[in-house]
Amino acid sequence: MISEIEQVILVGVEPLYYLIDSQKRIFWMYLLSSGLIALGLVLIRRGGVFDALKAAVSPKVWLAPSSRVDFYWFFTNHLIRVLLVVPVLGGGLTLSISINRVLYQWFGAGDFWQLPDILLSVVFTVVLFVMEDLSRFLIHFAYHKIPFLWRFHAIHHSAIVLTPITLYRIHWLEMIINSVRSLIVIGGVSALFIYLFDNAIHPVTILGASVIGFLFNMAGANLRHSHVWLGYGWLERWVVSPAQHQVHHSIAREHIDKNFGATLAVWDRLFGVLVLSQDTRVEGFGLAGKKVEQSFLSQQTGL
């Protein structure tokens, strides 16, 4: 049996496994695809490949005060998730079973339809993706519009240097809220499908990750938190590009509260907050009109 000290050490180094977990944004294949896309952009724009590679691994980027705070939040939130969030909240399966029991008691046995397994898997995957994406948009919108929530979400926006690790630069309270949101959506959608269909419910996956999330991440999702400008052209009316998310992080006042979408841009269009990357420039990242000390400890109570 391993000792308590060894358990703590294992928990501490576990974030390194994010690199081999296809359900994490910094999975090695997603990082590699983003790197290759960035290299392709350099070649297309006829920039210096050596200079681009040098800038990509520069200590001025990865060891900047802003980037160091990203890493502090990354490791701290992982510990909180392992030691508190997962044990307390449990999994979506438990919630979906509980909801299914309630539906059974209120409305009868269920199992109304049966579809070919592959068709049902596709439908389930799409519905779950849409509901997840919509819920992410709504909670993100709330973070910006509700002052109490904004003081904590502002920590994410206080980053002035963007790297893939900036994704994990969120206050632990926001992480808990996000976990509850995900639990409710996954558990609720799964319970509804289990109740309605007389099939086993399985999402369509690639290497263990949802096929939609896998393809989106392979399309350069890690460039969202970077200084590499990648737009999707006319697709940006439907899908959020890395450049559009960089607009969301822009210090320009005209970019404040724009482009809340996680994957789909349709929610931004419906709410009238969509900004396309074409003919748009981002001069810098951070909080508009506010200089924030890049200190992990000072951010514990929000900004």
What pLDDT, on the 0 to 100 scale, is given for residue 6?
A: 47
CA 215 to chain CA centroid, Å, is: 14
pLDDT at 14 over 80: no
Weakest-pLDDT range from 13-22, 239-248, 292-301? 13-22
Half-sphere exposure of 203 (CA within 13 A, CB side): 18
How many other β-carbons are positioned within 10 Å of the β-carbon of residue 14?
14
What pLDDT, on the 0 to 100 scale, is given for residue 57?
A: 83
**CB distance 20 to 28 below 8 Å:** yes
More confident residue, 33 or 54: 33
For residue range 112-157, what is the model confidence (pLDDT) as tens digits?
777 888 999 999 999 999 999 999 999 999 999 999 999 999 999 9
CA gap 291, 158 in Å, rounded: 8
For residue range 38-63, what is the model confidence (pLDDT) as tens digits?
999 988 887 777 877 888 888 888 99
Buried b (16+ CB within 10 A) or exposed e, 175-209: bbbbbeebbebbbbbbbbbbbebebebebebeeeb
CA gap 153, 169 in Å, rounded: 9
CA 28, 34, 40, 45 torsion-angle sign: negative
Structure confidence at residue 197 as a pLDDT band (50, 70, 90): confident
- Over residues 85-113, the mean pLDDT reads 70
Q: Which residues contact 45 (CB under 8 A, 6 or more apart)?
A: none
Residue whose pair of structure tokens reads 């046995």 in the numeric block: 109
For residue range 233-281, what is the model confidence (pLDDT) as tens digits?
999 999 999 999 999 999 999 999 999 999 999 999 999 999 999 989 9
